[in-house]
Structure 1
């Protein structure tokens, strides 16, 4: 008697078609939590990598933020006094390393405009005897309320091609400043450049087999330094590897062991990890050299 069962085969085909139909009419996400679940499922099925999921979740969070949530407070603003000469405020520009400065008159609540550091280059390399005047170079200042949502502000930054806005409180005083970089850092993480000070090493030895590792250390560099072979196709950074195995955003103090490495989260927020403590099994041989 043959083991072939045409009815069983047809049943399997019908079941397969039924599953496809069910998948087709699967309920769409009704809220943010549903969408996060979809992203988590997509990551588990390797449709997206951990960094992509993390970035999309950050975009969702940014869409709910208001300017007051991420602005630089007035106490940390670097401003230029309109009544000062170029020789007086040039050291401030050079020391800060910023590219844009609110120009104030009398006090910080009276902003006359924005000075772009690059606009001073013409005066520094010109043979002209023309006397420098801030009036000739300052640009209009954009002022937005603290309550303004971040997402439409980002669109305004892009469409109107400006990069900085002053933030006003309900009484009309200046409460802070926000730049397009501040918004983008909420999505992609801290953006460092050659002017940033105190940039920490990606990997720093703390003890004989304990290391301080920045979460955004490139996986290629981590593999080279620690003589290991984490899959660089599945994640770009050390944070991506940790996220991939935990499948959730870890809290401070959470630990994960992968092979000879014990990862402990030292600093993290709701969006991303910053620093990790990595303890290496003493039997594991380490190269200890990063690529240039």
Structure 2
């Protein structure tokens, strides 16, 4: 190989090294925006938010179209500052907590069943919280020096940690900053009367940005649609509409309707124009009834679908009538 060819090859290699890696622009913009959201100093230009909003509708600054997950994350960051604590909290009914009189065996069982790493401690009711217990502290207690048993009797008071107490109206961003400053990653949401409305962990806040976080301890939630013996159907709101349509033999969304409606949660939202509350019953034009089994202020989680057979029978009768009329 000639010297000229060697020089040419080195030049080509250097040029390739100088090229930005795919999505490097997105990563830089995302990092800068997140620093701005948290109030950290940055050298960003004053039009950062405007350019990111434009990116949501088109391409990034280097002309590449953003992937759907990138647009979704950017949209979440831009809207994060509008969220309140009660928008992201785990409601009281879903809180898994430890009573101060619980034994070590009972606490370990709760950890195993819930897969949570932090649980609040209470006296008699959740309205009298005492702090929280972290699985790491329990494991530390159980760790021995090869003797096979802990040296001291277990004391929940000895492993108890502090929690934050926050009002439902507190901005979610303020809570994130407070958790960052105090290194306390569990907050109890206290209403105006001193009662416990729910709790928020730092994972709840981060999931508002990046979506659901599942680790190796999260268990498979099973099928999204489950038909019950009484004919009703239990459904995860994330289930695709097509799955339910295939199961019951009905077309639930007009082919010329909104293409953005893809899940059962989206369908129910479109029927009422808002996020319904738990226990609410929403009727579909075909006769189906969607009972909201679980929801928070931002999204529908679980549904129970009623009158499936009646709706299917009504649809078949209508089809027969149409055929007779056509003949």
Cα deviation for residue 31 of structure 1 reads 8.7
Q: Which residue of 2 aligns with 1:92?
A: 110
3-state secondary structure, aligned to 1:198: coil
CA–CA distance in structure 2, aligned partners of residues 41 and 107 of structure 1 = 51
Deviations for 1:30-81, whole angstroms, at most 9, x for unmatched residues? Answer: 998x963453133594264332222111111111000001100010000000
Cα deviation for residue 162 of structure 1 reads 2.1
After superposition, where does 1:21-60 map in structure 2 within 5 Å? 36-43=53-60, 45-46=63-64, 48-60=66-78
After superposition, where does 1:106-255 map in structure 2 within 5 Å? 106-126=124-144, 127-199=149-221, 251-253=260-262
- TM-score, length-normalised on structure 2? 0.51
CA–CA distance in structure 1, aligned partners of residues 176 and 168 of structure 2 = 14
Q: Which residue of 2 aligns with 1:4?
A: none
CA–CA distance in structure 2, aligned partners of residues 31 and 46 of structure 1 = 18
Q: Is residue 43–residue 50 contact of structure 1 (8 Å, CA) maintained in 2? A: no
Q: Is residue 58–residue 186 contact of structure 1 (8 Å, CA) maintained in 2? A: yes
User: Is there any run of 5+ residues in structure 1 with no aligned partner, and where?
Assistant: 1-27, 202-213, 216-248, 254-264, 275-292
More helix by share: 2
Q: CA RMSD in A?
A: 3.4
Q: How many residues align?
A: 190
- TM-score, length-normalised on structure 1? 0.57
RCO higher in structure (CA 8 A, sep ≥6): 1
User: Is there any run of 5+ residues in structure 2 with no aligned partner, and where?
Assistant: 1-45, 224-237, 240-257, 270-274, 276-297, 302-327
